Structure 1
Amino acid sequence: MEKDITIYDIAKNLGVSPTTVSRALNNHPAVKEKTKKKIFQAASDMGYQSNIFAANLRSKRTNNIGVIVPSLNSNFQASVLAGMEKVANGAGFNLVISQSLESSAKEIANTRSMFNSRVDGLLVSLASDAEHLEHFTPFHRKGIPVIFYDRIANSDDSTGVAIDNIQAAHIATNHLIEQGCKRIAHISGSIKVSVYAERLKGYKYALIDKNIPYEEELVIILSDINEEAGEKIVEQIMQMDPLPDGLFISNDACAASCMNHLKLKGIRIPEDMAIVGFNNEIISRLVEPKITTINYPGYEMGEVAMKNMINHLEGTSGSPLSKTNKITLRSELIIRESSLKKK
C-alpha cells in the first residue's frame, strides 16, 4: 500500500519550505499566485489528499450539522430541509441527514451515530413514538446544541421552532363552525406527537367557545395519517350517525384522499361535508374542489432553525438560543372551495 503524500514530500519535490506549501494549499494571501499554481499542480500530480479530518480535530469542528427527520417522503420536511440547506451552505456548513422512520429506536440509533460522527450541532423533528429524550443527554453534556423543529420536546436544554398548533387548529375548526357546520369530525395523527395533541386541543377549544358538545366518536386517531389512510377513514366516517357536516383533517394528503373517497360514496364537497386540511401542500391546490388549509411555513422554519443553530455555533452575541426556549412562527388559514358552504 502506498504511503500518504505529505506537505513535506511536496516541499522537497519543489525545493520550497513546508510552511509555504501549507499556506498555498490553504489559499493564504502571503503566497504568490505563480507559486500557488505550481504547488497545487504538484499536489495534484503526487496524489496529495488534504487531511481535513486532522485539521478538524485540531479546530474541534467538523462543519457538519446533523438533521434527523421522521420521514423524507413528506413535502413539508422537504421544504424544511431546503430552508436549512440554503442557510447552512451560505455559512459553510454541510448537512448530515438521517430519518427515524417514525421509530424511537431508530431515532436513538441515529442520534448515537451523529454523536460519534462529531456533528457540531443537531436539528431534530421527533419520531411519533418518541417518549423519552435521554438519548440527547450526551449532546447537552458536551455543549453540542440541539434544536427541535415542528415536533418539539418540552425540555429546558433545547430550543424548539414550531407554529402555534393550538391556535391554528382553533382557527380551522372555527372556520367550519362559521360555515354552519354543527357536527365536525377531526382526523388526527398519534397524539403522542406534540403537533397532533395540540391540534386536538385547538379543535376542542373551538367547540367549547361556540357551545358545541365534544363527542369522542367524532375524533379519529391513526398512527399514520397519509394518502393510504383515506379509504379507512371514510369507511369510519360513513358509519357515523348522523353523518358529520364538516371535517378538520390534520394533513393535506390525507384530506385529498378522504375527499376522493367521499365523492365515490356520493358525498358532495362542500355542500354535504366541508373539508379543511393542514400544511398547504401542493396537493391541496391540485384537487377539485381546492382544499382550505393552514399554511405551515416549512421553508421558513428550516431557515429560522438553522440560523439559530449557526448563531449559536459562531457564538454570535444575543443568539436567541440563549434567551428563549421556543420560537413560534406565524401560520394562517387559506380559504378555498372545499369548505365554503356559504358562497
Structure 2
Amino acid sequence: MVTLLDVAASAGVSRSTVSLVINKSPLVKDETRQRVERAIQELGYVPNPNARGLVKKENKSLGVIIAIEDQPYNTYEFNYETGLYSYNITNGIPVGLANTDYGLLTERFCVSIQGKELPALVKNNRVDGIFLVGGLFTPELIERLKEKKIPIIAIGRYYDQIDSVSTDVTQGVYLGVRYLLDQGYRKICYINCPQIYRSNAERVAGVQKAMREFHLEMKPDWLVYCKHNTGEGGYEAIKRLWQSGARPQAIAAANEPIALGIMRFLYEQDIRIPEDIAIVSYEDSVLGGYAVPALTSVNIQKEYMGELAARIMLKRIRKGQEGELEHIIVEPNLVVRSSVGKC
C-alpha cells in the first residue's frame, strides 16, 4: 500500500508538505504542489480519511437528532408515530452533502431527558456537527449543545440561537383552510397537534387568517388538540368533537397521521369523504397519496429543507462558527387531491 512517506520520497519533499498539498493549503508553492500531485497520481496514492480525521480531530460524521414524544410503542397500530416527517427531512440531507466525505448518524432523543442528558452522539463527541429535527428542543438544551463548539442547524423550526431552515407554518395552514373556504365550506373545524409543540399557536393563526378574509370566526370548541401526533390522536380528537354534537362541513388536520385517524372515525360512522365532509391536511407525505380518497395536503418541502440545512452545515464547517446566523424560510404549497369537493 502506498503511504504518505512514499509520495514524499518520490516528490522530494517532506511528509508535512504532502499533507499540506492534500489539505489544499495555500502555503505550498505552485511548483511544489504540482510535483506532489504528479507523484500522487503516478503512485496511485489514496488519502486515508480516517487518519486525516484523527490528525484534524474530525469524525467525518454528522448527527441527526430527532426529538420524539415520551410515548412507548408496543405495536404497529395507529398509535405509533410514523416518523415520516423526520425521515423525509433526513432524505434531503445527503443531497446537500453530495461529493463530500461526510456520513450521517441518527439518534432519537426523548424530550423528558432534555434537562438531564445530552444526546449520546454529542456527549461522546462522535460528530462534527448536528441537525436538530423537530419542534421539541428547549432553548436550555440548545445552549448546552452550543458549548460543544460544533455547528448546529435546526430543521423544521426556527430557533434564534442557531442556524435554521424552516417553513412558514401559519402560511401553510392558511393555504389549506383558504382552499376549503374557496370551495364553499364555511363550517370548518381544526384538529391541531399536541400543545407541547411550539407550532400549535402558529397553526391557529393560519386558521384565523383564512377565516377573517371571509368575515368568519371558528367556534372555540371546534379547535381541538390531539394528545399525540398519531392516527389514534386524530381519531380520539374528532370523536370528542363529534360526541359533543358538532357537525362540521370540513376538517383541517395538523398532519397526515392525524388526518388518517380522523378518516378512520368517519368511516366507522358511514360518513363519506368528500361527499359528506371534506378533509385537508398539512406537511404532505406518501400517506397522502396512499389514503382513500387521496388527501389534499399542504406540502412543506421537507426534503428541500434537509438539503438546504446540509449546505449551511458545510459552510459552517468550512468557515468556522463566525458570521451571522442564517434563517431560511421555505415556502409551502398546496397539493390538491381527492379529499375535498365542492360544497
Q: Same fold (TM over 0.5)?
A: yes
Q: Which residue of 2 aligns with 1:94?
A: 103
Q: 1:108 to 1:78 in 2, by over 3 A?
A: farther
Counterpart of 2:63, as a letter, is G
1:271 CA displacement? 2.7
Give CA-to-partner distance per residue, 1:29-50, whole Å, 9 cap, x none: 465778668xx9xxxxxxxxx7
Ranges in structure 1 where 5+ consecutive residues have no aligned partner: 1-6, 12-16, 41-49
1:63 CA displacement? 2.0
Which protein has greater RCO, CA pairs closer than 8 Å, 6+ apart? 2
Q: 1:36 to 1:283 in 2, by over 3 A?
A: closer
Q: Which residue of 2 aligns with 1:52?
A: 50
Secondary structure class of the residue paired with 1:98: strand
Give CA-to-partner distance per residue, 1:208-227, whole Å, 9 cap, x none: 33222232211111231212
Counterpart of 2:298, as a letter, is I
2:61 is the alignment partner of 1:64: yes
Of 107, 111, 114 in structure 1, the residue corresponding to residue 122 of structure 2 is 114
Counterpart of 1:64, as a letter, is S
Secondary structure class of the residue paired with 1:147: strand
1:295 CA displacement? 1.0
Secondary structure class of the residue paired with 2:252: strand
Q: What are the within-5 Å matches in structure 2 for residues 95-244 of structure 1?
A: 95-101=104-110, 103-105=111-113, 109-111=117-119, 113-117=121-125, 119-126=127-134, 128=136, 130=137, 132-141=138-147, 143-153=149-159, 155=160, 157-244=161-248
Give CA-to-partner distance per residue, 1:16-41, whole Å, 9 cap, x none: x9x77x979x897465778668xx9x
Q: 1:205 to 1:240 in 2, by over 3 A?
A: farther
Q: Which residue of 1 aligns with 2:342?
A: 341
> Taking every aligned residue pair, what percent have the same amino acid on both sides?
21
1:139 CA displacement? 4.3
After superposition, the CA RMSD in angstroms is: 3.4
Task: Say whether the 8 Å CA contact 1:126–1:152 is kept in structure 2.
Answer: no
Please, what TM-score do these two structures have when normalized by structure 2?
0.77
1:331 CA displacement? 1.1
Q: Which residue of 1 aligns with 2:77?
A: none
1:197 CA displacement? 2.5
Q: 1:171 to 1:73 in 2, by over 3 A?
A: closer
Counterpart of 1:58, as a letter, is V
Secondary structure class of the residue paired with 2:186: coil
Please, what TM-score do these two structures have when normalized by structure 1?
0.77
Mapped partners of 2:40, 2:139: distance in 1: 53
Give CA-to-partner distance per residue, 1:63-98, whole Å, 9 cap, x none: 222210125942231121111123225222121210
Mapped partners of 2:229, 2:143: distance in 1: 31
Q: 1:225 to 1:142 in 2, by over 3 A?
A: closer
Q: 1:185 to 1:32 in 2, by over 3 A?
A: closer
Mapped partners of 2:96, 2:172: distance in 1: 27
1:274 CA displacement? 1.0
With 233-242 and 324-333 compared, the bigger mean Cα shift is at 233-242
Counterpart of 2:340, as a letter, is S
Mapped partners of 1:196, 1:67: distance in 2: 23
Secondary structure class of the residue paired with 2:282: coil
Task: Say whether the 8 Å CA contact 2:121–2:127 is kept in structure 1.
Answer: no
1:248 CA displacement? 0.4
Task: Say whether the 8 Å CA contact 2:63–2:131 is kept in structure 1.
Answer: yes
Q: 1:87 to 1:180 in 2, by over 3 A?
A: same
Counterpart of 1:180, as a letter, is G
